[in-house]
Amino acid sequence: MAYSMIGADGKTYGPVESHILVEWARSGRIIPDTGIIDHASGRNFLARDLPELHAIFNPPPVSPNHVPMLHHIPPVPTYLPGHKFGPDGRPLKSKMTAGLLGIFLGSFGIHRFYLGYTGIGMLMLMMSTILAIFTCGGSLLIVGIWGIIDAILCFTGGLTDAEGRPLAD
């Protein structure tokens, strides 16, 4: 059957088949109060009264026991090769990554940020930048040695992440 739609601007759009009206309703181009003209009968009616559009404008009622899921958080995949996961399902931090960050960027505390120790990471960063100006680089040397010691602790398993979880091999 051929139908036309009366737009909000008063213009007539169509004639189109009913499946086109369904597409327009799904896309929001037609609302329940949109005027529709049936060319076969010459009848004018609202879109909500057309049987093909009834299901779109009147979805089935939701049962009282149905709880909508607002945020779906997909589970962490445990099948990724090379990744270790803790008992809580979250990935563990890597000994190798933390150790290498300690060796190469340890004087800036980057390895501590990686492990979740943001307070210690900030302290090391401040000591290697701001305090180094006032100590003529002396604090930079101290923090550099501290980073090497932390790297050794990471490689040997003597350091955990900020939540107390061991580092993965």
Confirm whether 141 is domain-assigned: yes
* φ, ψ of residue 74 in degrees (nearest 5): -65, 145
**Assigned domain for 89 exists:** no
Determine, yes or no, domain membership for 151: yes
Number of domains into which the chain is organized: 2
Give residue 3's pLDDT. 87
Name the token pair of 22. Answer: 């369904």
Provide the pLDDT for residue 126. 95
Decide: 30 and 56 in contact? Cβ < 8 Å. Answer: no
The CATH number assigned to the domain holding 19 equals: 3.30.1490.40
Give the domain range for residue 45.
Answer: 2-57
Contact 21, 45 (CB under 8 A): no
One-letter identity of residue 129: T
Q: Where are the beta strands (DSSP E) in 39-167?
A: 44-46
Domain assignment present for residue 17? The answer is yes
Hunting for tokens 């049962």 — which residue is that? 63
Inside any domain, residue 10: yes
pLDDT reported for residue 146: 96
Give the span between the Cα atoms of 107 and 114, in whole angstroms.
Answer: 14
- Is 77 among the domain residues? no
Name the residue among 112, 118, 125, 121 with its Cα closest to residue 159. Answer: 112
Task: Judge whether 72 lies within some domain.
Answer: no
Whether residues 148 and 100 fall in one domain: yes
Are 48 and 100 in a shared domain?
Answer: no
Q: Measure the CA–CA gap between 41 and 3, rounded to whole angstroms.
A: 10
pLDDT for the residue 70 = 60
Per-residue pLDDT for the chain (169 aa), expressed as one digit of tens each? 788 888 878 888 888 888 888 888 888 888 888 888 888 888 888 888 888 887 788 777 766 666 666 666 666 555 556 667 777 777 889 999 999 999 999 999 999 999 999 999 999 999 999 999 999 999 999 999 999 999 999 999 999 999 998 998 8
Q: Whole-model pTM?
A: 0.53
